[in-house]
């Protein structure tokens, strides 16, 4: 029988509430929404939406690795944007992290995110 495994790393943002960075069950991996919090400082990266997106995806990548997966095994992402006007800028960075056969994706605009983040990305992958 498969059991739930907690994926944890110090190389990504630490949870800001009662949740796990990632959960693996069998061959599936579920990664909690990641924002642009620098894991070394615990602070939100300051700069452009591209800077935030890069740090967000670096955090996602670190949790995937801790769970025994990787970006090329991501099946689905959900991108949350504070401002849909950032869609193209986020896409430009996102495409660098998923250059071939990108995962299925949903992108929605939300009114606010923790610590004033402008982008948050969650993922489902396999391992």
Choose between 17 and 48: higher pLDDT. 48
Tell me, what DSSP letter sits at residue 10? Answer: T
Q: Which of 23, 28, 107, 124 is catalytic?
A: 107
Query: Is 107 a known active-site residue?
Result: yes
pTM for the whole structure: 0.96
Does the domain spanning 4-126 belong to CATH 3.30.1330.40?
Answer: yes
Output the six-digit token pair for 71.
């970006």
The yes-or-no verdict on residue 2 having pLDDT over 90 is: no
What tens digit of pLDDT does each residue of 81-122 get?
Answer: 999 999 999 999 999 999 999 999 999 999 999 899 999 999
Of 54, 50, 55, 12, the closest CA to residue 31 belongs to 12
Confidence (pLDDT) at 16: 84
């Amino acid at each position: 029988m498969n059991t739930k495994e907690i994926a944890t790393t110090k190389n990504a943002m630490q949870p800001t509430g009662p949740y796990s960075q990632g959960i693996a069950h069998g061959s599936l991996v579920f990664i909690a929404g990641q924002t642009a919090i620098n894991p070394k400082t615990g602070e939100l990266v300051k700069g452009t939406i591209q800077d935030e997106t890069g740090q967000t995806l670096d955090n996602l990548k670190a949790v995937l690795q801790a769970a025994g997966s990787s970006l090329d095994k991501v099946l689905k992402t959900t991108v949350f944007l504070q401002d849909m006007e950032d869609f193209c800028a986020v896409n430009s960075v996102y495409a660098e992290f998923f250059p071939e056969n990108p995962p299925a994706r949903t992108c929605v605009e939300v009114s606010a995110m923790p610590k004033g983040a402008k982008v948050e990305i969650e993922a489902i992958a396999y391992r």
